[in-house]
Amino acid sequence: MKKSAVTLSIILILFCYTGASKNIYKDPGQNPDLKPLVSFEGQIVFHSNFDGDNEIYLLTKDSLEKLTDNSWDDEHPVWSPDGTRIAYTSNPNGHYDIHVMEADGTGITALTSFSSDELEPAWYPDGKSIAYSREVKKILRKKISLYKLDLRTKFSQKLIPGYDKTHAIPHVSPSGPFVTFTAKRIRGWDSAMYNWETKEVKFLDSGGKSCRARFSKDGKKLAYTSSKADGKGDIWLMNPDGSGKFRLTESEHTYDYFASWSPDGRYIVFNSSKQHDHNGDWQLMIIDVQTKKTMLLFDSPGNDVFPDWR
């Protein structure tokens, strides 16, 4: 394999699991009145480090609101099904735990308190449970698996019993007994699906070049990232059974990741950067699913990543 191909493979592996880096922008006084560059319906939460560390922000068509403000990292925010709460991951104690807060940033509560890292929460459609990734550091490697947290009892258990492959980044179907996730191949990662009624696990793609699938709001489509077309990363669509794959973003100059659907399914918000490493200046973009028209939504001096739209 050529050196460039090896490099791109490593980049995809890192981006599929870890995402954008904490390339700290250390001048929070600049651009205090950042606003969206195009109008949109609803609300988008995301995290950004443009004030010096990762904080969670709320973007509407008129304004940007900072929901967390502290000296540690708050990341991966996701709306509850009813839109009243936001789950996210935070490391005030040195390791990451799952937290939840009200939609206005108040009422912050830690849901986990393990010594491992709990990352990338995803709500179940009834709002009573959260799926997440648990990363346990071993002597020579990290073990990453999916867990399910009961919000009433605070009890966590493995989401896919008996599944031993490294797997992470869950997203739960709003309309069926399915969880999509990203699973490790011998080389690379691929999007996969778990049916908790039949206990079946299946890969939705091959080649170790896909990751981060997200269900549409009606559960009929998945948006995901693949580097098959140009060796970088593009947003693709497919059916939940892995059929009907369709490339959505086609820029030869950008790396496109972290897709999230609009409530009506007409648009997808995602992150884009022209740099091929974790230090890229990640921006929020919107694409029209039917026309492929792409618009810059938001761009701060830092990395604006992991949006979730309601």
CATH number, position 123:
2.120.10.30
8 Å CB contact between 64 and 55: no
Name the band, by pLDDT with cuts 50, 70 and 90, for residue 33. Answer: low
- The pLDDT value given to residue 20: 47
- The pLDDT value given to residue 27: 39
Q: How far is CA 240 from the centre of its chain?
A: 18
State what percent of residues in the chain have pLDDT above 70: 88
Q: Please provide the average confidence, as pLDDT, over all residues in the chain.
A: 90
Name the band, by pLDDT with cuts 50, 70 and 90, for residue 280. Answer: low
Instruction: Write out pLDDT tens, residues 221-263.
Output: 999 999 999 999 999 999 999 999 999 999 989 999 999 999 9
C-alpha to C-alpha distance for 283 and 256, rounded to whole angstroms? 10
Q: What is the mean pLDDT of residues 141-164?
A: 94
Domain span at residue 45? Answer: 3-309
For residue 204, give the amino acid letter.
L
For residue 92, give the amino acid letter.
P
- The pLDDT value given to residue 31: 47
SS3 category, 12 = helix
- The pLDDT value given to residue 140: 74
Instruction: Write out pLDDT tens, residues 301-310.
Output: 889 999 999 9
Is the pLDDT score of 28 beyond 50?
no
142-151, 173-182, 239-248, 275-284, range with the lowest pLDDT: 275-284
Contacts of 107 (CB under 8 A, 6+ apart): 101
Q: What is the mean pLDDT of residues 135-150?
A: 89
How many structural domains comprise the chain? 1
What are the residues facing 44 on neighbouring strands? Answer: 59, 309
8 Å CB contact between 89 and 121: yes
Q: How is the chain classified by DSSP, letter by letter?
A: --HHHHHHHHHHHHHHHT-S-------TTSSTT---SS--SS-EEEEE-TTSS-EEEEE-SS-EEE---SSS-EEEEEE-TTSSEEEEEE-TTSS-EEEEEETTS-S-EE----SSEEEEEEE-TTSSEEEEEEEEE-SSSEEEEEEEEETTT--EEESSTT--S-EEEEEE-SSSSEEEEEEE-SSSEEEEEEETTTTEEEES--SSBEEEEEE-TTSS-EEEEE-TTTSS-EEEEE-TTS-S-EE----SS-EEEEEEE-TTSSEEEEEEESSSSTTS--EEEEEETTT--EEEEE--SS-EEEEEE-
Instruction: Write out pLDDT tens, residues 195-214.
Output: 999 999 999 999 999 999 99
Query: Residue 237 — φ and ψ, nearest 5°?
Result: -120, 150
8 Å CB contact between 104 and 115: no
- The pLDDT value given to residue 34: 85
Instruction: Write out pLDDT tens, residues 55-112.
Output: 999 999 999 999 999 999 999 999 999 999 999 999 999 999 999 999 999 999 999 9
